[in-house]
Amino acid sequence: MGDSSGSASVSVDIERISFGGKEHLVRTKCGSVTVAVYGDEDKPALITYPDVGLNYMSCFQGLFFCPEAASLLLHNFCMYHINPQGHELGAAPIPSDVPVPSVDDLADQVADVLDFFILGSVMCLGVTETKYRERVIGLVLVSPLCKAPSWSEWLYNKILLNFLYYYGTRGLVKECLLQRYFSKKVRGDAQYPESDLVQACKSLLDEKQGENIWRFLQSINERHDLTDSLRKLQCRTLIFVGENSEFHEDAIHMTTKLDRKYCALVEVQDCGSLVTEEQPYAMLMPMEYFLMGYGLYRAYQLSSSPRSPLSPCCISPELLSPESMGVKLKPIKTRVPINF
């Protein structure tokens, strides 16, 4: 675990257009990362960390712009939004002599952030944290990766990374990245126009340094298999995945390896990897039932103070059934065990 005593930060009060809050520069053993903190720091901590080569605003603002999500998440948690190194808006290229971090280094960065803010056990959104599982009390995962890349995926990514390294985020490279993020429906075709969401993502990719995206995706392409560590994960886990996501198979595999008493899978129809952006409303009811297991409710339902430490109580699997989550009303389907 990182020692925060040697860490230093530069804190700047910045009213973020998207979320608000204060932004910190946190120095870790594997480089500096920016962390935007929003909310009452006496409340339980919710850590967000994007793992697709985009910054946190591009991955989570669709979810947090939903009023229902604000009443559920922002009311109960203090948010710590971590940006991967070099993914900040206006970030300069990372020097070529700086080593490319491994996936374990990325996990260490998250642990160093927890140490810096003196956080104990936390809830994680978008963070597949198994290395420091004793510090995670709950996981809400979005199109997660858990297996090492197959040879075909590794080779495809290597070709994409070479194009990205030499040509940046333009042309074919940009289209390949958009395919990783979004479904065909929102990317547009002869039948559907390109959505505003995809146009905004294109503009963001135009502004980003291709070398920085290359470094992060290089780390992800060299990931190792997490299957063995998943079997040791005892915290409650809620997994969202778009049925058109390139990582759909990983999400299914993860569900089969986790303890079925603590895990539920929500497959979102007509959606790509970024469920938080494409169909954030499909996430709200499953998340609400999931957090009820921790005694956390929307603002108007609050029956106990969210300032008390998270202490998960028993949550009935029936609460995560298709009927309870309103499958007939929302474009989602769930996989929840009936017998244990």
pLDDT in tens, 253-291: 999 999 888 899 999 999 999 999 999 999 999 999 999
Q: Tell me, what's the pLDDT at 10? A: 35
- For residue 54, what are the contacts with CB-CB under 8 A and spacing of at least 6? 87, 181, 201, 204
Average pLDDT over residues 309-320: 46
Inter-residue contact 210 to 164 (CB < 8 Å): yes
Task: Share the mean pLDDT of the chain.
Answer: 81
335 pLDDT higher than 80: no
The amino acid at 23: E
Q: Residue 38: what are its φ and ψ, rounded to 5°? A: -135, 125
DSSP states along 61-89: HHHHTSHHHIIIIIHH-EEEEEEPTT-ST
Q: pLDDT tens across 39-53, in order?
A: 999 999 999 988 777
Inter-residue contact 333 to 327 (CB < 8 Å): yes
318 pLDDT higher than 70: no
User: Where do the structural domains in the chain lie, given as residue ranges?
Assistant: 22-148+226-293
| Distance of alpha carbon 175 from alpha carbon 187, whole angstroms | 9
302 pLDDT higher than 50: no
Inter-residue contact 276 to 241 (CB < 8 Å): no
Domain 22-148+226-293 has CATH 3.40.50.1820: yes
164 pLDDT higher than 70: yes
Q: Tell me, what's the pLDDT at 252? A: 94
Inter-residue contact 241 to 247 (CB < 8 Å): yes
Q: Tell me, what's the pLDDT at 253? A: 93
Q: Tell me, what's the pLDDT at 282? A: 94
pTM: 0.82
327 pLDDT higher than 70: no
